Amino acid sequence: MKFEKRHISEQVLIYLRKKIMLQELKEGDHLKESELSQELSISRGPIREAISKLETEGLVITPSNGRTIVQKFGERDIRNLYESRILLETYALTIQDGELLESEGKLLYQYIQEMEESLTGGIQNVEADLKFHHQLLKMTDNRTLIRLWNSLNEIIKTLIEVTSEFTAERQNEIVLEHKVIADALHANNIELAQSLLRTHLEGASDYYSKAVFELQGEGE
C-alpha cells in the first residue's frame, strides 16, 4: 500500500477498518504498530492515531496489558449501527427547523440528483447519499444530534464502500427511497417521512448484513 502524505492517519484508518470488516483482520488478532509501520512504510504516529479512532468505533480494544486486539465485526454490529441511525434520523424529522427546511430543504433534491447522475455512469455516489442524510440532521440546528450522527458517519461510509458490489442492483430503488422521504418531509407529513426513512434504513441494514456475511465467507 502507498499512502499520500496528506491525511495519512485517515487513510490508514480506512485501510484497517476495511480489513476488519472483511475479516482479513480477525477477532483476537493483535495489531502491532511496529509491524504495520513496516508493512505500510509509514511512521508509527499515523498508525497510532488510526488505532485510537478504531477504539472509539469499537472495532479494536486495548486492555491493560497494552496489546491492541481486533474485535468481531458482524451482523449484530451492523444492526446496532443502523438502529442508532434510525433513532437519530427519525427523531431529527420531528424537530426540523422550519426556516432551515425552507432555505436548505432543496439540497435534499440536489443530492438525489447527484445520485441519479452518478448511476448513469454506473457509479454509486456514496458521498451524495450520506450528504442527504446529514442534511436531515443539519436542518434540526441541533449540534449535539449532529455530532452523534457524525460519530457513526465514517464507519457507515466504509461499510457502504466495502459492500458496493453487492448492492449495485438496488441503487435505482435506493435513489427513489430518498426522493419519497424528501417529498413527504416537504409536504409536512412527518409520520410518513419517518415511516419511509425507517423502512429505507432497515432495508439498508438487511442488505449490508447479507453482503458483509458473503464477503467474510469468501475470505475464509
Distance, CA of 41 to CA of 31 (rounded, Å) = 16
Q: Which residues, at least 6 apart from 114, have a Cβ–Cβ distance to it below 8 Å?
A: 125, 128
Rounded mean pLDDT for each run of 10 residues along the chain, 220 residues in total: 68 94 92 93 93 94 90 92 96 96 96 94 91 97 96 92 83 94 96 97 91 71
Q: What is the residue whose three cell numbers read 437519530?
A: 88
Element counts in the chain: helices (H) and strands (E): 11, 3
Q: What is the residue whose three cell numbers read 432495508?
A: 203
pLDDT score recorded for residue 219? 47
Grouping H, G, I as helix, E, B as strand and the rest as coil, residue 42 is coil
